Amino acid sequence: MTPRIKRVTKTSATLLAMVLLTGCASPRPISSNRLDAQIAQADAAYRSLDASHVTYNNAVATIAREIDGKTPAELRSEIDPAQVRIDAPALELPLVRYHAVRTPPQPKQSPAIGAPVVLEYDTSRASIYPRAGMFLPATAIYRRVQNQPHLSFIAADNRITLDRKSYPLVTDKTAAASMLARRARRVAQSGLTNLLHPEMRAKGEIVLSQPYDPNKIPILLVHGLQTTPFTFLQLVNALESDPEIARRYQFWHFYYSTGTPVLLNALRLREELERTVQIVDPADHDFATRHIVVLGHSMGGLIAHTLVSSSGDRLWRSLFVVPPEQLRGNPEMVQRLQRAFFFRRNPRVVRAIFVATPHRGSAMADSWIGGLAKSLIRLPDKLQTGLTDIAEKNVEVRTAEAAAFFKELNFTSVHMLSPHDPMLLTLARLPIAVPFHSIMGEKHNGAGSDGVVRYASSHLDGANSELIVRSGHNAFNNSEARSEVIRVLREEIRAEAKECVSLVSWPEFQ
């Protein structure tokens, strides 16, 4: 062997020994894989985290950008050479992709660490989640556990402890919701279709926008006429930005065709709530399924009213002077009406928030705008035929108010939002069995209306609180209204805490 060859061999052996010796202590600093190099930088920044959060956060953000759009399998294959373990939330849904979140740099003085990301899950086999996928906000961090490097995605907590020191996490709760809105654009834009062509798309279903948590209080959001669950996007973002609300609550949405008769949509809500509970809590013992708060906007508030009140036969008697079994017409439709008109309050729902709800109707339903909407709405043939058949075959047993109101045989939701609807006025008088709160809008001082619903229609005696904000009909987008919703939700947290103390003080718990 020539001297030159010996020198090369000796140098190569030295480099190999250095790689093998340092590989046990940290990811490989020499690699053709760009992600390996970024992991090495993050490892160095982690070891001096106390000295510079900025350096650490920049290193983790670089990793997040590198893995943007990658599948778990792709990330695993690229990160395996660095011997880094991957930690992700353990959900029953399959994780399909990682997404980086572009956010402004954190202030240098901020103690928060990590990089915000969104984890995308496949929901094709989970009917209670959005069909477009589950998008979970999380924070990517690099850390060492028993000297083993980990790339972790933290979704359930706002803080993390590293080397016995607690750090807040850099988060972006709004990114996941925005990503879902873009992916589910057809749903977000389906409000008009679901009004004019009921049941063409939205059959009426409860959708969970987050993984079900048995220990968090569900907020069941019920949207109004010509809108969809995405109407609440800004409200949900505001609620999730509050640490206490985000820690104690989860968000459920009722998505339905708003042109369908109000009480039939209310029936669908009650049925879907029980179906959802059966799916998430088949043993029926979770805290979450027994402590639901419902928030209804506009017509959604009317639908929500049927969850927190009992009808007896009052709604039925507002239309007919004979019991259901004496009604003539299609038996299937009679039975459906009976289920819609007779209900008992749902004990799972513990509090209600009504936002701009026309408990006594809206004059707009009788205006030329309302008339145009009523003429354009096309109920499903089977529903229209069934209701018309019952109305025509039971002329002599209808109340005078019902005969006058339904003389045009119009059964659309818009028609039933009229201040002259006998069912609506009866529903407004049903006592509410839980604490409830009213939020109304007023377009300008002295208006007494949000432009769609007057105060006199939104007001209900007995409310635990009532707030009027300077707003149009979408009062939930007003900052004061959002603060009020947060206040009410905190009030429910305190009420639940008192209930727990009372239970523990009972003799059988001593």
In this prediction, residue 201 carries a pLDDT of 59
DSSP SS3 for 205: strand
Last residue of a domain, one of 129, 149, 172: 172
Decide if 153 is inside a domain: yes
C-alpha triplet 137, 139, 141: angle, nearest 5°: 160
The H or E element that residue 180 is part of is helix 173-183
Do residues 499 and 352 share a domain?
Answer: yes
Decide if 332 is inside a domain: no
User: What mean pLDDT is predicted for residues 78-82?
Assistant: 77
Which residue range forms the structural domain that includes residue 89?
Answer: 25-172
Decide if 20 is inside a domain: no
Q: In 3D, which of 336, 277, 349 has the Cα closest to residue 310?
A: 349
Tokens of 137: 């906000």
User: What mean pLDDT is predicted for residues 357-363?
Assistant: 97
Do residues 162 and 213 share a domain?
Answer: no
Do residues 154 and 261 share a domain?
Answer: no
**Conformation bin of residue 128: beta by default, left when phi > 0, alpha when psi is -120 to 50:** alpha
Q: Do residues 132 and 151 make contact, with C-beta atoms less than 8 angstroms apart?
A: no
Residue 156 identity: A
Could you tell me the pLDDT band of residue 507, with boundaries at 50, 70 and 90? low
- Please determine, for residue 7, whether its predicted confidence score (pLDDT) is greater than 60: no
- Please determine, for residue 202, whether its predicted confidence score (pLDDT) is greater than 70: no
- CA–CA separation, 402 vs 415, rounded Å? 13
Tokens of 11: 């140098």
Residue 357 identity: T
How does strand 205-208 pair with strand 165-168? unpaired
- CA–CA separation, 62 vs 34, rounded Å? 11
Domain total of the chain: 2
Which range in 97-106, 128-137, 169-178 is most confidently predicted, on average pLDDT? 128-137
Do residues 116 and 253 share a domain?
Answer: no
Do residues 168 and 223 share a domain?
Answer: no
- Please determine, for residue 390, whether its predicted confidence score (pLDDT) is greater than 90: yes
Partnered with residue 162 across adjacent β-strands are 165
User: What mean pLDDT is predicted for residues 230-259?
Assistant: 95
Decide if 14 is inside a domain: no
- Please determine, for residue 106, whether its predicted confidence score (pLDDT) is greater than 80: no
**Mean of per-residue pLDDT scores for the chain:** 90
Do residues 65 and 204 share a domain?
Answer: no
Do residues 122 and 39 share a domain?
Answer: yes
- Return the higher-pLDDT residue of 481 and 35: 481
Decide if 179 is inside a domain: no
In this prediction, residue 502 carries a pLDDT of 54
For the chain, the farthest-separated pair of C-alpha atoms sits apart, in whole angstroms, at 116
Do residues 120 and 260 share a domain?
Answer: no
- Return the higher-pLDDT residue of 102 and 63: 63
- CA–CA separation, 340 vs 311, rounded Å? 10
- Please determine, for residue 200, whether its predicted confidence score (pLDDT) is greater than 70: no
Decide if 5 is inside a domain: no
In this prediction, residue 500 carries a pLDDT of 66
Could you tell me the pLDDT band of residue 274, with boundaries at 50, 70 and 90? very high
**What is the per-residue burial (b if ≥16 Cβ within 10 Å, else e) of 443-470?**
eeeeeebbebbbbebbbbeebeebbbbe
Strand arrangement, sheet containing 95-100: 85-87, 148-154, 134-145, 115-121, 95-100
Q: In 3D, which of 119, 26, 113 has the Cα closest to residue 67?
A: 119
Of 28-42, 193-207, 365-379, least confident by mean pLDDT is 28-42
- Return the higher-pLDDT residue of 49 and 201: 49
User: What mean pLDDT is predicted for residues 373-391?
Assistant: 94
- CA–CA separation, 69 vs 64, rounded Å? 10
Tokens 């990517």 map to which residue?
140
- CA–CA separation, 208 vs 281, rounded Å? 14
Above pLDDT 70, what percent of the chain?
Answer: 91
Do residues 165 and 189 share a domain?
Answer: no
Could you tell me the pLDDT band of residue 20, with boundaries at 50, 70 and 90? very low
Decide if 477 is inside a domain: yes
DSSP SS3 for 17: helix
- CA–CA separation, 479 vs 235, rounded Å? 9
Do residues 156 and 294 share a domain?
Answer: no
- Please determine, for residue 118, whether its predicted confidence score (pLDDT) is greater than 80: yes
The CATH number of the domain holding residue 359 is: 3.40.50.1820
Do residues 270 and 358 share a domain?
Answer: yes
Distance of CA 180 to the CA centre of its chain: 11
Last residue of a domain, one of 172, 192, 224: 172
Residue 402 identity: A
Last residue of a domain, one of 172, 205, 225: 172
Tokens of 189: 């834009």
Q: For 308, which DSSP code?
A: S
- CA–CA separation, 250 vs 219, rounded Å? 6
Decide if 385 is inside a domain: no
| pLDDT, tens digit, 9 for 90 and up, residues 412-455 | 999 999 999 999 999 999 999 999 999 999 998 888 999 999 99
Could you tell me the pLDDT band of residue 3, with boundaries at 50, 70 and 90? very low
Do residues 122 and 230 share a domain?
Answer: no
- Please determine, for residue 11, whether its predicted confidence score (pLDDT) is greater than 50: no
